Amino acid sequence: MKKLITTAIALMSAGLLVAACSAGDSNMSAGDSNMSKSTGENGISDNPDAWSGYQTAREGVRAMNDDDFENPVMPYVDLAANIYDSRDNKGNISCADCHGAPEDETGGRSGIPMKGVGASYPRFNADTGKPINVELQINKCREERQVEKGFKYESDEMLGMTALVNYQSRGMPVVSTAANPDDELHSAWQTGKDFYYQRRGQLDMGCNNCHEDNAENIIRAETLSQGQSNGFPTYRFKWQKPGSLHRRFRGCNKNIRAANFNYGSDEYLNLETYLAWRGRGLPVEAPAVRK
Pairing of strands 222-223, 218-219: antiparallel
Please, which contacts does 196-203 make with residues 24 or more away whose CB atoms are closer than 8 Å?
A: 196/271, 196/274, 196/275, 200/253, 200/256, 200/258, 200/259, 201/253, 201/256, 201/257, 201/258, 201/259, 202/256, 202/257, 202/258, 203/10, 203/13, 203/14, 203/255, 203/256, 203/257, 203/258
Which of the 8 DSSP states describes residue 291?
A: -
Residue 260 in contact with ligand HEC, rule: CB under 6 A? no
The answer to whether 164 touches 102, Cβ cutoff 8 Å, is yes
Integer Rg of the chain from CA = 19
Residue 131 in contact with ligand HEC, rule: CB under 6 A? no
Among 37, 130, 140, 199, the residue binding ligand HEC under the rule CB under 6 A is 140
What's the rounded Cα separation, in Å, for the pair 240 and 121?
26
**Cβ closest to ligand HEC, residue 45 vs residue 278:** 278
Residue 98 in contact with ligand HEC, rule: CB under 6 A? yes
Per CB under 6 A, the segment of 36-44, 71-79, 140-148, 183-191 that binds ligand HEC is: 140-148
The answer to whether 163 touches 275, Cβ cutoff 8 Å, is no
**Cβ closest to ligand HEC, residue 39 vs residue 222:** 222
Whether 252 is catalytic is yes
Residue 169 in contact with ligand HEC, rule: CB under 6 A? no
Among 104, 212, 222, 267, the residue binding ligand HEC under the rule CB under 6 A is 222
**Cβ closest to ligand HEC, residue 74 vs residue 136:** 136
Per CB under 6 A, the segment of 21-29, 37-45, 70-78, 226-234 that binds ligand HEC is: 226-234
CB of 249 to ligand HEC, least distance (A): 5
Task: Report 31-50 residues binding ligand HEC (CB under 6 A).
Answer: none
Residue 8 in contact with ligand HEC, rule: CB under 6 A? no
Among 36, 133, 176, 209, the residue binding ligand HEC under the rule CB under 6 A is 209
What's the rounded Cα separation, in Å, for the pair 170 and 164?
10
Question: Nearest residue to ligand HEC, using CB?
Answer: 53
Among 51, 76, 77, 99, the residue binding ligand HEC under the rule CB under 6 A is 99
Alpha-carbon separation of residue 238 from 169, 209, 291 (angstroms): 26, 23, 6
Among 36, 38, 47, 53, the residue binding ligand HEC under the rule CB under 6 A is 53
Q: Which residues bind ligand HEC (CB under 6 A)?
A: 53, 93, 95, 97-99, 110, 112, 114, 117, 134, 137-138, 140-142, 145-146, 161, 165, 205, 207, 209-211, 219, 222, 224-225, 227-229, 231, 234, 248-249, 252-253, 255-256, 271, 290
